[in-house]
Amino acid sequence: MKKNKGVLSLLSVLVFFSACITTKQQTDPKNLVIREQGSFAVGGTKTTEQGSFDLNNALKPQGQTFHGDHAYAFYQIPVKAHKYPLVFLHGAGQSKKTWETTPDGREGFQNIFLRRGFGVYLLDQPRRGEAGKSTVAATITPVPDEQFWFTQFRIGNYPDYFPNTQFPKDSASLEQFYRQMTPNTGDFDGNVISEAVSQLFNKIGEGILITHSQGGGPGWFTAIKNNKVKAVVAYEPYSSFVFPKGELPSPIKSAGLFGELKGTEIPLTDFNKLTKIPIVIYYGDNIAKEPTKIWNKDHWRSGLEMARIWAATINKHGGDATVVHLPEIGINGNTHFPFSDLNNVEIANLLSKWLKEKGLDK
């Protein structure tokens, strides 16, 4: 009997320590608790080659199908998630990796906002990354261009980093950054992308769309197509600012390597759909205030200038659009990738504050 009491006492101690460990795991901020995660393809098209499939000649295309131009989504839903998940769409030369671990190994927006209770959906747009099955042919040529991207993305003017840059200056981080870039497997098509992203919102329901750079244009059109997009957050959009017919501004001259920046004219009925949701646009540092021959700084000057014209047009039609130039609010040194820069927690805090102000973090 004494032996049994000893065993019971030992079991009680073990249960107690097990409970303590379990409690620590649930409350320790270093641990992430995920209720659900997975991945899927969404949107896209299916074509069928004329003829009949011949099992004995299975390499011939006749009678066979081809699925392509879909987006790929990886998602994670935390315990007690907020009502609206965050849907992340990358920019040019990028994939969902943009939002994951930073080049120097810190947590990106994926984990930062999981910890803050948001479901996250990371997208590879059609014809990019894990959604590479394109319906149009493309030739991928390995042209050395990484020093251009270093400069274009305002890490610095290669080989020099900007003195105040928030990009880590060690060689290993720069190599990781170069290796996260990935090519198109078919021509960039904003309509194909926005159709797939719209289908994602049809599948998951209401949410907040967060875009980067080239993803800005498809982001506007996704919000026009689908009223399940409850807000748009755009980091440094450049191309495809849309304006109502008759209100298209003059092109903005630029010394950037892509020339002047033009807007796109759309019907007023479509444009007005963008006035029904809150929109915020963020730009980083080392952008020229006045025209300059320093081509990377001037390229993004034209983007920032067009964004301000665009936001003013949205607001004139009764909308709620804000452009935030980070240096103007005392946040300095950010590159084209503020969400993965060294101060990305500060950038995330800024977004969290905006979400709270707009009632989007319920």
Q: Give 102-154 pLDDT, tens digit per residue.
A: 999 999 999 999 999 999 999 999 999 999 999 999 999 999 999 999 999 99
Residue 21 has pLDDT above 60, yes or no: no
Which pLDDT value is given to residue 30?
74
Which pLDDT value is given to residue 156?
98
Q: What is the mean pLDDT of residues 191-197?
A: 98
- Residue written as token pair 């040194």: 333
According to DSSP, residue 251 is labeled P
* 240 confidence band (pLDDT: 50, 70, 90): confident
Residue % of the chain over a pLDDT of 70: 92
* 20 confidence band (pLDDT: 50, 70, 90): very low
User: Do the Cβ atoms of 142 and 110 come closer than 8 Å?
Assistant: no
Q: Give 295-337 pLDDT, tens digit per residue.
A: 999 999 999 999 999 999 999 999 999 999 999 999 999 999 9
Which pLDDT value is given to residue 239?
78
- Give how far the C-alpha of residue 61 lies from the chain's centroid of Cα atoms, to the nearest Å: 36
Ranking 6-20, 264-278, 287-301, 317-331 by mean pLDDT, the lowest is 6-20
Q: From CA 91, how far away is CA 94, in angstroms rounded? A: 6
User: Do the Cβ atoms of 229 and 159 come closer than 8 Å?
Assistant: no
Peptide bond into 103 cis (omega under 30): no
Distance (Å) of CA 356 to CA 78, 129, 297, 321, 324: 19, 33, 32, 16, 16
Mean pLDDT, rounded, of the chain? 93
Residue 15 has pLDDT above 80, yes or no: no
Q: What is the mean pLDDT of residues 180-201?
A: 97
Which pLDDT value is given to residue 237?
97
Which pLDDT value is given to residue 29?
59
* Residue among 272, 249, 250 at smallest CA distance from 318: 272
Residue % of the chain over a pLDDT of 90: 91
Please list, in sequence order, all residues whose beta carbon lies within 8 angstroms of the beta carbon of residue 294, skipping any fewer than 6 positions away.
157, 255, 288
